[in-house]
Structure 1
Amino acid sequence: MKSATRLSRIACLASALLLAACATPEQPAPKNPAAPTLAQVMSDADAAARAGQYERAIALLKGGGASYPTDKAPWLQMAQMKFDRGQYGDAIGHALEALERAPDDKVANSIVAVSGLRLSGKALADLSRQNNLNGSLRSEAQELAKLLRLSIGEEVLVPPARRPVAAGKRAAGSGAPAAAAKGAQGSTADPFSGLK
């Protein structure tokens, strides 16, 4: 009987220890730091860009775009940064992302339009320099030029370059007609002269 009492006391003691262990409050799990607000992300990206850390700024904005998928601000900021650096293809892509979130955003639409025109202008200038602007490509470029003239209400998209007075006197003094000098200058200085 002594051994039965001893076993029951050991069992009670083990149960009490087990219950005491369960009753001890657990240490709270470390809290994950709160995600930065969109304003904080934009501020950090702006500070990084001003410090010349362009890649870091873009990475912060991409993270902001992932954390706040319905907000246009990170995409618009990336589009503006790419536009300012002359990376027009990327600027268009980011501006289109902003337009998916805010279809009427004037800045995003402007970035898409101006970036597209700059890319097109460069491509047309390259083709013109290579003398490969002919056929259907030429007629399509002329139609686009007409559409642009109508859109902005201008008769001429690219005004002719003005020559200084001294240059005009030299052309007249050399016996070359001013129109021929202007035509020769227009063919090299104005890649869009044929589209007027």
Structure 2
Amino acid sequence: MNTHFALPLTRVKTSLLCVMLASALVACGTTPHSPGSTNNLLQQANEAMNAGAPDRAAELLTQASKLNPTSELVWVKLAQAQFERQDYPKAIDAATEALARSPNSAEARSIIFVSSMRLAVTSLGEIRADTPLSDTNKSEAETLVKELRDTLGEAILIPGVKPANRPAARPRPRPTVPTTTAKPQADAPTPPVASKPQPAATPTPSTTSSDPFGALR
């Protein structure tokens, strides 16, 4: 009696074990963390962005961020899509997630900066319409404006303002080397002109003979 019941129970346990193993294998084959599904979502999101549909791209990238939350690329793409949707708080959140995974991501920093600036401009317009700034907030705002002016330049921060023209630097005078003027040399003594030798005088024949008795002869 016991033997007859033991065999079916063993078969049932074996069947349940096979079903559990098969389910586990199917789950592993369709795991959401597979790179193929993430890449597929990224490709579809890029196509949606190129087609001018950032809302659809944000939906696809949100799914990709759940499938592969450790990917910095997914979070940067999601931040870009949220920025194009003009949902700047969500763009900042997604870019912050990207920086948490890649602290040197210049693209994520740029999205955070520009999104924050647009939120600040919107808030500034609301403050002008409702209430003025308090002294503390005004002082902090002036400090931020100064930092932005130093970073971006006044022409970018305030459109229409031309940067001041700096005077052209004068060229430095070159050092002059003193030139020594050569002293005129003393006139060398002119050698005396050699006098031409006078021709020897030809002796004239004397009319008187050296013999005193020649006339008597």
* AA in 2 matched with 1:102: S
What displacement does 1:155 show? 7.1
The structure with more radius of gyration: 2
* AA in 1 matched with 2:143: E
Q: Deviations over 1:77-123 (max 9, x none)?
A: 11111111211111101100111111111110000011101101111
1:161 & 1:115 partners in 2: Cα distance? 23
1:86 aligns with 2:79: no
The 8 Å contact of residues 83 and 111 in structure 1, kept in 2 or not, is answered as yes
* AA in 2 matched with 1:105: S
Where does the alignment leave 5 or more consecutive residues of structure 1 unmatched?
A: 1-10, 16-21, 163-196
Q: What's 2:106 paired with? A: 106
Q: What's 1:186 paired with? A: none
The count of residues paired between Structure 1 and Structure 2 equals 142
The alpha-carbon distance between structure 1 residues 60 and 108, as it changes in their structure 2 partners (threshold 3 A), is: same
2:125 & 2:161 partners in 1: Cα distance? 16
CA RMSD of aligned residues (A): 3.3
Bigger helix share = 1
1:40 & 1:68 partners in 2: Cα distance? 12
Where does the alignment leave 5 or more consecutive residues of structure 2 unmatched?
A: 8-13, 163-217
Matches within 5 A, 1:156-171: 157-160=157-160
Q: What's 2:65 paired with? A: 65
The 8 Å contact of residues 48 and 56 in structure 2, kept in 1 or not, is answered as yes
The alpha-carbon distance between structure 1 residues 155 and 48, as it changes in their structure 2 partners (threshold 3 A), is: closer
The 8 Å contact of residues 88 and 116 in structure 2, kept in 1 or not, is answered as yes
1:141 & 1:38 partners in 2: Cα distance? 42
What displacement does 1:47 show? 2.7
Matches within 5 A, 1:1-196: 29=22, 31=26, 32-33=29-30, 35=34, 36-50=36-50, 54-154=54-154, 157-160=157-160
Kindly report structure 1 stretches of 4+ aligned residues shifted beyond 6 Å.
Answer: none
The 8 Å contact of residues 54 and 85 in structure 2, kept in 1 or not, is answered as no
Q: Percent identity?
A: 32
* AA in 1 matched with 2:88: Y
2:128 & 2:160 partners in 1: Cα distance? 17
2:106 & 2:92 partners in 1: Cα distance? 13
> Using CA pairs below 8 Å that are at least 6 residues apart, which structure has the higher relative contact order?
1
Q: What's 1:3 paired with? A: none
What displacement does 1:130 show? 2.7
Q: Deviations over 1:8-50 (max 9, x none)?
A: xxx9xxx9xxxxxx9xxx8994844464343222002223445
* AA in 2 matched with 1:129: A
* AA in 2 matched with 1:60: L
